[in-house]
């Protein structure tokens, strides 16, 4: 359904589709084809060769962010990609951080020093339980077997405390009774 123009609007002329120029058709006809007649692509970028555009964008972005972080004046670039990134880094920190997360590599190339591995062996579950307590690891992160052992220990401590409390109460009552008898 075509929307009719109002009195204040001018009517748009209908779109005219242009035919392909003859030189483009000739170029398509001259492209290399395989045995089935389909157009074969070019070689493309060889494996292992980095994409030049991505590398240029990364370099410009990193340089602009470095300058934005170190500068005291507002204008340092006049034009170009670095100028755009510099302006974004100064005005829109949220966009800068989002772009940084996408452009910078996720894995860092870190050289590890040769450290001898320390193998710690625990004799019993109780030893391991004590180590978790010493390191103040939250109980929610403990393996299920340690949590069960910890709950058993807590129940034993509660039973001992309850027994000690009952004995204290009985002892106090007997002391009160002895004092009353005198």
The reply to whether 160 falls in a domain is yes
pLDDT of residue 123 exceeding 80: no
Q: What is the pLDDT of residue 15?
A: 58
Q: What is the pLDDT of residue 106?
A: 60
The reply to whether 156 falls in a domain is yes
Pick the closest to residue 60 from 86, 95, 92 (CA basis): 86
The verdict on 141 and 172 lying in the same domain is yes
The reply to whether 108 falls in a domain is no
Radius of gyration of the chain (CA): 39
User: How far is 132 from 18, CA to CA, in rounded Å?
Assistant: 76
User: How far is 32 from 182, CA to CA, in rounded Å?
Assistant: 121
The reply to whether 116 falls in a domain is no
Under 8 Å between Cβ of 125 and 145: yes
The reply to whether 13 falls in a domain is no
The verdict on 99 and 129 lying in the same domain is no
Q: Which of 70, 103, 136 is the last residue of a domain?
A: 103
The reply to whether 158 falls in a domain is yes
User: How far is 66 from 35, CA to CA, in rounded Å?
Assistant: 54
Q: What is the pLDDT of residue 45?
A: 79
pLDDT of residue 22 exceeding 80: no
User: Per residue in 98-119, pLDDT tens?
Assistant: 888 887 766 566 676 766 666 7
At residue 10 the predicted structure's pLDDT band, cuts being 50, 70 and 90, is low
Alpha carbons within 13 angstroms on the beta-carbon side of residue 61 total 16
Q: What is the pLDDT of residue 180?
A: 58
- Report the mean per-residue pLDDT for the chain: 74
The reply to whether 38 falls in a domain is no
Q: What SS3 state is found at 176?
A: helix
User: Per residue in 60-96, pLDDT tens?
Assistant: 888 888 888 776 655 566 677 888 888 888 888 888 8
Residue 75's domain comprises: 52-103
pLDDT of residue 172 exceeding 80: no
Q: What is the domain count for the chain?
A: 2
User: How far is 27 from 110, CA to CA, in rounded Å?
Assistant: 50
Q: What CA–CA distances, in Å, run from 27 to 20, 39, 85, 131, 140? A: 11, 12, 39, 75, 68
Q: Phi/psi of residue 33, each to 5°?
A: -130, 155
At residue 3 the predicted structure's pLDDT band, cuts being 50, 70 and 90, is low
Under 8 Å between Cβ of 60 and 85: yes
Q: What is the pLDDT of residue 60?
A: 84
The reply to whether 119 falls in a domain is no
At residue 17 the predicted structure's pLDDT band, cuts being 50, 70 and 90, is low
Mean pLDDT value of segment 148-158? 79
């Amino acid at each position: 359904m075509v929307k009719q123009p109002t009195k204040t609007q001018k009517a748009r002329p209908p779109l005219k589709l242009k035919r392909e120029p003859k030189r483009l058709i000739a170029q398509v006809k001259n492209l290399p084809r395989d045995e089935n007649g389909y157009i074969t692509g070019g070689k493309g970028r060889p494996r292992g060769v980095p994409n030049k555009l991505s590398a240029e964008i990364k370099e410009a972005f990193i340089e602009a962010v470095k300058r934005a972080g170190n500068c005291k004046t507002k204008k340092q670039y006049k034009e170009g990609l670095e100028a755009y990134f510099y302006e974004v880094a100064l005005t829109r920190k949220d966009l800068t951080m989002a772009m940084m997360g996408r452009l910078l590599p996720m894995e860092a190339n870190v050289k590890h020093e040769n450290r001898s591995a320390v193998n710690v062996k625990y004799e019993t579950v109780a030893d391991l339980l004590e180590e978790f307590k010493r390191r103040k690891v939250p109980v929610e992160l403990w393996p299920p077997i340690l949590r069960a052992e910890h709950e058993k220990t807590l129940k034993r401590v509660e039973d001992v405390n309850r027994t000690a409390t009952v004995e204290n109460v009985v002892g106090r009552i007997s002391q009160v009774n002895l004092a009353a008898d005198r």
